[in-house]
Structure 1
């Protein structure tokens, strides 16, 4: 019995991709049945997976035109492809090339396209090998085995690190890969990277876990590379042994620089982005539950049901010198090898990551531990929790395309992801909590909300001193409202995060979000429980080979220009004085997409006006917005500051007259939420 039925969405999608792919490269009718058969047959020949794609139905007398029509009408599969590429003909990150495949495809192009198709759809080696056997008579230049096609390593050497194994890809190679994809400016003479180290559980039924070392270029968070990875059923017992290869290579590159394209660059590790447990492990310091665990100051915690940090003022800050000299001996558990890397400040080079600190720390504590799961009078009444959940679910239709999750009920708040807590703090919370919390609780929450928005926007960092005062106010009033026993390690560190923003810039410059996203890709590399580390290395090497091949073709592609018009339509509306015009359903910008339809049709102009976008049209070879402004544009809250200062408005009384504006007047996209009989608009923070 096969693992997937013939009606499986994944099976249908893979079959359609295979039929489409084969049709592009082979125009004969023969071979179609064989392709369907191979997709219904085997398992991975290199033992990486069993029965990934199978089907129970017979394929005799398949009506291919009808089959393609049925499959094309099916919805997208529930789970996305392992690798998301722009198109089947172009696998170069951030570059837009020609779509489709030319009939006279060269042998090398066919091989590259086939490799990309296998990786994109996570095709098993067994299925890919069967496809190669079918194509071989028509294309003798193709190999017979998928491992030859994908250049899968035959043997890899792993290193034993008790109680698991480790593989080192190489820091210099990873940095070179990142640099090649970043289009560096000619004036750049220094390569700065961020390093992330964290655990990744692979199974709920066992302790199987990866501990990868990841890196990305500072201020270029779109690309992440893996330097090395440990696998075991426990964490590495000796963290210095785990990071030894990384540290040794980092020392050499920092001392000697890095050569790329025959040009020499200085090299620096700008920072290590880790959560509190990982940071304490690699720095060899006390964990977050320790009395002297703060990585930024010498404060000593007190015990009130658990270790807490109620002290706010007169904090003695740590320095690199006193850390290395172990001035506060109780803070240290050993000596970290990282101290040997030149130009690494053991305090300033370890910023506080707001994904773990604020989203999964402070916000989760407020919602899960206090408002929903706390004790009276802190705990919200059942009716208020129900109302709050209802308010959240009513905003589902307002979530823009840039958000990958829609609001969920508080019943599921224990399972919320970091992005959901961030979404609540910045956008949803101010609206849905306004009639739920007491005035003091709401003001306390809004002070954190305003501070985080300021610290997240490069344009608002002129208010950084005010944001620092707001965070001090938040911690002070938090202790008054919720008690000293809840002044946890995370709450205390809100007093220090502004110092990191002064060094690194906006919060997203040094957050763990891109690394966390890449973790999920690494998890998908593993197809079965046996030898997960070897599987990861195989898949990574295959992908590297494909990227290297296509990077050589980069010169034949044009970089995408923004903004650019999307799909054409003719539904209007258009101003009365215009006749026949070209109309677009959407316009794509570098960091966001605006559309004619909700929930992606609100924006702010440079003038400060909030616009309801109704259409995009072309006038004099330029794209302009057709839409409506609002007669009333007021503050949504007045304390701790007027919301308009951070571009948040309550809007009403839409002007009925259609107006036009150039898209060059757009300042940022807005998130529009319902509030009573009005709307509240927030700036899409990463675009401000």
Structure 2
């Protein structure tokens, strides 16, 4: 046994010596790399125009610029195999990768990290693109996204956005919670119901981020010009081998957004209605405008709407509620005011009915309100409602569909014992009126 132990110890000692030499060699290499890196850092020339305080945080600062030769190479690589040890085409693999990151809803910067990681795992050489820009070029996808910064004082676009950020140093002067996001999107209405219900027919046109309400003419003019250019030419769909003509039927929004698009005063002044010339009266007791019901309604016509808006634009004054011409005149195929559509869910539910419920509930005792909330939350409803009824105390983040369920199935049974007969009559008539909006299949179109 002693003879066998001696050569074993010799082998172990020789292995330890080899490991020690290998560690010294690796340590020497790492020191040399650090010295080279430091010498390279001292010789780096930094261009001031390439610096940005948002380089590590803002996804929009990624440089996706390529030349034509690189574009042609990216397209040619997509038609070849992914790497020499597979028969999978690069185009098929990249298309599945693009679908995966879109379904995952991750940012472009994180997508590039995943793309770089996958490229490092595959055998070399491989046809994985270096960045997302070459990926889109290889798949034949055009990037239509465009960003611009507009001054809210002079309403002019900054010519050099990069220089603008450098001057501000990427730090906000004033911190505020009043930052607003305005979205302008479009919906394709002549599509099968299966596509519409999944909201696959909605696409983004433009969005505005700022502390004030946007000037819609400055914000949407370039986007509407692109839509008009698309309307003049036939819209080609390669998969169907058909061409379509685009027609913009109207603009649907809630009242605050629609008054900006129509360039009219809000619904708290004189002549606020988009469709008629009702003036209204100022009531000093409540400091609000009141609009009396009129049997004979003086409607706005296409001719009067155009004349009054042009007069307000020319003289720079209010004319029957108009502040000037509307940007919708440039893109709509149906003339105003017929092209203005008020969002039913915002006006009837999120504004009118929500305020009615809050006003009535505040007039009740706290114990009664608490009991009503408990009974509303415990009410059994159909499984296809997707959302249960909420109590009045949970109205801060309530959805329109939840208010609709409360209006149709919950309010009268739970509140009828605590409100007056006039309030109950008003709510009952309101329920009937809203139900008639959903009664096209059961009732005649006259309703």
Tell me the TM-score range normalised by the shorter chain. Answer: 0.5 to 0.7
Unaligned runs of 5+ in 2: 1-53, 60-85, 158-174, 310-317
Q: What are the within-5 Å matches in structure 2 for residues 143-182 of structure 1?
A: 143-145=129-131, 148-149=134-135, 157-163=146-152
Over residues 128-164 of structure 1, what are the superposed CA-to-partner deviations in whole Å (9 max), with x where a residue is unaligned? 1453145323893333546655669999653443338
Please say if 1:225 is aligned against 2:169. no
Q: Distance in 2 between matches of 1:121 and 1:340?
A: 37
Over residues 610-665 of structure 1, what are the superposed CA-to-partner deviations in whole Å (9 max), with x where a residue is unaligned? xxxxxxxxxxxxxxxxxxxxxxxxxxxxxxxxxxxxxxxxxxxxxxxxxxxxxxxx
- Is the Cα–Cα contact under 8 Å of residues 250 and 332 in structure 2 kept in the other structure? no
Q: Aligned residue for 1:213?
A: 184
Q: Distance in 2 between matches of 1:140 and 1:117?
A: 20
Aligned to 1:229, the other structure's residue is in SS state: strand
Q: Aligned residue for 1:648?
A: none
- Is the Cα–Cα contact under 8 Å of residues 332 and 339 in structure 2 kept in the other structure? no
Bigger Cα Rg: 2
Aligned to 2:273, the other structure's residue is in SS state: coil
- Is the Cα–Cα contact under 8 Å of residues 284 and 333 in structure 1 kept in the other structure? yes
Aligned to 2:247, the other structure's residue is in SS state: strand
Q: What are the within-5 Å matches in structure 2 for residues 59-74 of structure 1?
A: none
Please say if 1:142 is aligned against 2:119. no
Report which structure shows greater RCO (CA 8 Å, sep ≥6). Answer: 1
Structure with higher strand content = 1
Over residues 175-217 of structure 1, what are the superposed CA-to-partner deviations in whole Å (9 max), with x where a residue is unaligned? xxxxxxxxxxxxxxxxxxxxxxxxxxxxx95343333321112
- TM-score relative to the length of structure 1: 0.42
Give the 3 Å change call, closer, same or farther, for CA 317–146 of structure 1 in structure 2: closer
Q: Aligned residue for 2:248?
A: 269
1:259: how far off? 4.6
1:333: how far off? 0.8
1:389: how far off? 0.6
1:357: how far off? 0.8
Q: Aligned residue for 1:458?
A: 440
Q: Distance in 1 between matches of 2:336 and 2:419?
A: 41
Q: Distance in 1 between matches of 2:133 and 2:232?
A: 38
Give the 3 Å change call, closer, same or farther, for CA 343–118 of structure 1 in structure 2: closer
- Is the Cα–Cα contact under 8 Å of residues 277 and 320 in structure 2 kept in the other structure? no
Q: Distance in 1 between matches of 2:412 and 2:124?
A: 63
Q: Aligned residue for 1:366?
A: 356
1:264: how far off? 4.6
Structure 2 residue corresponding to 1:117, chosen from 100, 113, 116: 100
1:431: how far off? 3.5
Give the 3 Å change call, closer, same or farther, for CA 415–402 of structure 1 in structure 2: closer
Aligned to 2:209, the other structure's residue is in SS state: strand
Q: Distance in 2 between matches of 1:251 and 1:130?
A: 39
Q: Distance in 2 between matches of 1:443 and 1:162?
A: 51
Q: Aligned residue for 1:239?
A: 216
Q: Aligned residue for 2:48?
A: none
1:293: how far off? 0.5
Please say if 1:307 is aligned against 2:289. yes
Aligned to 2:409, the other structure's residue is in SS state: helix
Give the 3 Å change call, closer, same or farther, for CA 341–132 of structure 1 in structure 2: closer
1:276: how far off? 1.2
Q: Aligned residue for 2:277?
A: 298
Over residues 516-561 of structure 1, what are the superposed CA-to-partner deviations in whole Å (9 max), with x where a residue is unaligned? xxxxxxxxxxxxxxxxxxxxxxxxxxxxxxxxxxxxxxxxxxxxxx
Q: Distance in 2 between matches of 1:285 and 1:356?
A: 19
- TM-score relative to the length of structure 2: 0.62
Q: Aligned residue for 1:383?
A: 367
Q: Distance in 1 between matches of 2:144 and 2:332?
A: 35
Q: Distance in 2 between matches of 1:447 and 1:287?
A: 27
Aligned to 1:391, the other structure's residue is in SS state: helix
- Is the Cα–Cα contact under 8 Å of residues 186 and 202 in structure 2 kept in the other structure? yes
Aligned to 1:307, the other structure's residue is in SS state: strand
Q: Aligned residue for 1:288?
A: 267
- Is the Cα–Cα contact under 8 Å of residues 301 and 337 in structure 2 kept in the other structure? yes
Q: Aligned residue for 1:443?
A: 425
Unaligned runs of 5+ in 1: 1-43, 50-102, 167-203, 374-378, 466-688
Q: Aligned residue for 1:132?
A: 118
Q: Distance in 1 between matches of 2:401 and 2:148?
A: 35
Aligned residues: 324
Q: Distance in 2 between matches of 1:278 and 1:340?
A: 18
1:421: how far off? 1.5
Q: Aligned residue for 2:257?
A: 278
Over residues 261-281 of structure 1, what are the superposed CA-to-partner deviations in whole Å (9 max), with x where a residue is unaligned? 564544321110011122111
Q: Aligned residue for 1:56?
A: none
Aligned-residue CA RMSD in angstroms?
3.6
- Is the Cα–Cα contact under 8 Å of residues 273 and 351 in structure 1 kept in the other structure? yes
